[in-house]
């Protein structure tokens, strides 16, 4: 089980998920102020009429208020549209299963030697429709550093790209969680070192659901995020290119959908 260092968290209760503060588990009724305390959330006063016999309606209002807080910066009822891949056959398969693309508010794993190419295409499409920045987290000692001119050539708007370098895996995961939960980012990308635990993937998925942003985990290893709580897992790999008699080169890729919460799987060979 992944354990996060307590000094990395603003709230000590977030350091170890299993250790919950009693104030978050028990609602305390204050006789002196006539209010209900929900942990660190101020829930407001209760009128005498509500004290007398309107407990159900009060509880409903409290639940609605907590739900608004958990939705982060997304207005009530707003749903971010799924992100299409740009490949007609893949998008058609997803649409046939009531998935019009990659779901927002969810984590998606991308692996394989062609994973970065697939991810850059998705980030390019996302930036074209969403003005919010994208956070990209990499290890401090990562051998491959993101190259600005290359990203720009791939269509990524580097002026809206925030790159962070973490010295420890726990620091990277904490930064990704905070970014996903904030709702202020279009997407959060992470390149974790080694294999991600089920607990860590579940925390990232919950953070993405809270903030409504897209989350991506990029790894060259197929098993880096398996087993996991991710919404979907993809693999991308290059195939031999086709060269025509006039010297034109058609680059080809194979994309595989390994796992999806809707039970979808597939494999496609595409010219990119």
CA distances from 208 to 14, 44, 103 (A): 16, 28, 11
Which range, of 54-63, 142-151, 233-242, 254-263, averages the lowest pLDDT? 54-63
For residues 125 and 51, state if they share a domain.
Answer: no
Instruction: Name the token pair of 17.
Output: 């998920």
**H-helix or E-strand spanning residue 1:** none
For residue 121, the model assigns a pLDDT of 95
Read off the CATH number of the domain in which 209 is found. Answer: 3.40.50.300
Q: Is residue 150 assigned to a domain? A: yes
Q: Is residue 83 assigned to a domain? A: no
For residues 201 and 253, state if they share a domain.
Answer: yes
Separation between Cα atoms, residue 233 and residue 217, nearest integer Å: 9
User: For the segment 129-180, what is each residue's pLDDT rounded down to a tens digit?
Assistant: 999 999 999 998 877 778 889 999 999 999 999 999 999 999 999 999 999 9
Burial of 191: CB neighbours in 10 Å, binned 0-12, 13-18, 19+: buried
Whose CA is closest to 161, among 122, 193, 191, 134? 134
| Region for 74 from its dihedrals, namely left if φ exceeds 0, alpha if ψ lies in -120 to 50, beta otherwise | beta
| Ranges of H-type helices in 10-167 | 22-25, 48-53, 55-70, 88-96, 115-129, 148-153
For residues 157 and 202, state if they share a domain.
Answer: yes
Burial of 269: CB neighbours in 10 Å, binned 0-12, 13-18, 19+: exposed
**Who's near 258: CB < 8 A, 6+ residues apart?**
222, 233, 234, 235, 265
pLDDT bucket at 20, cuts 50 / 70 / 90: very low
Separation between Cα atoms, residue 224 and residue 233, nearest integer Å: 11
Q: Is residue 80 assigned to a domain? A: no
Q: Is residue 76 assigned to a domain? A: no
Full-model pTM? 0.70
User: For the segment 169-223, what is each residue's pLDDT rounded down to a tens digit?
Assistant: 999 999 999 999 999 999 999 998 888 888 999 999 999 999 999 999 998 777 6
Q: Is residue 203 assigned to a domain? A: yes
Contact 268, 89 (CB under 8 A): yes
Separation between Cα atoms, residue 169 and residue 42, nearest integer Å: 34
For residues 54 and 112, state if they share a domain.
Answer: no
Residues composing the chain: 272
For residues 57 and 97, state if they share a domain.
Answer: no
For residues 58 and 192, state if they share a domain.
Answer: no
For residue 122, the model assigns a pLDDT of 96
Q: Is residue 77 assigned to a domain? A: no
For residue 97, the model assigns a pLDDT of 77
For residues 61 and 99, state if they share a domain.
Answer: no
Q: Is residue 55 assigned to a domain? A: yes
Where are any strands of DSSP class E within 122-171?
134-139, 161-166
Q: Is residue 169 assigned to a domain? A: yes
Containing domain of residue 34, as a range? 6-70
Asked if residue 60 has pLDDT above 70, the reply is yes
* Phi/psi at 76 (5° precision): -60, 130
For residues 97 and 37, state if they share a domain.
Answer: no
The domain total for the chain is 2
What is the C-alpha radius of gyration for the chain, rounded to an integer number of angstroms? 22
User: For the segment 62-109, what is each residue's pLDDT rounded down to a tens digit?
Assistant: 776 665 544 444 444 456 899 999 999 999 998 887 778 899 999 999
């Amino acid at each position: 089980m992944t354990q996060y260092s307590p000094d990395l968290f603003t709230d000590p209760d977030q350091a170890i998920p299993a250790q919950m503060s009693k104030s978050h588990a028990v609602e305390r009724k204050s006789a002196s102020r006539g209010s209900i305390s929900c942990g660190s959330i101020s829930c407001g006063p209760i009128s005498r009429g509500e004290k007398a016999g309107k407990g159900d309606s009060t509880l409903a209002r409290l639940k609605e208020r907590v739900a608004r807080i958990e939705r982060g910066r997304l207005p009530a009822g707003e749903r971010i549209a799924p992100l299409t891949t740009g490949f007609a056959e893949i998008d058609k398969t997803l649409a046939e299963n009531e998935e019009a693309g990659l779901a927002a508010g969810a984590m998606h794993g991308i692996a394989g030697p062609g994973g970065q190419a697939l991810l850059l295409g998705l980030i390019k499409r996302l930036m074209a429709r969403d003005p919010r920045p994208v956070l990209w987290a990499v290890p401090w000692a990562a051998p491959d550093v993101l190259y600005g001119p290359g990203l720009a050539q791939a269509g990524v708007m580097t002026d809206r790209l925030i790159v962070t370098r973490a010295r420890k895996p726990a620091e990277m995961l904490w930064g990704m969680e905070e970014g996903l939960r904030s709702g202020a980012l279009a997407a959060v990308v992470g390149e974790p070192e080694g294999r991600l635990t089920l607990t860590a993937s579940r925390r990232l998925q919950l953070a993405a659901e809270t903030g409504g942003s897209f989350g991506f985990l990029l790894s060259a290893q197929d098993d880096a995020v398996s087993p996991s709580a991710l919404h979907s897992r993809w693999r991308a790999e290059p195939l031999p290119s086709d060269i025509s008699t006039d010297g034109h080169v058609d680059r080809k890729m194979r994309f595989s959908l390994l796992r999806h919460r809707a039970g979808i799987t597939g494999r496609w060979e595409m010219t990119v």
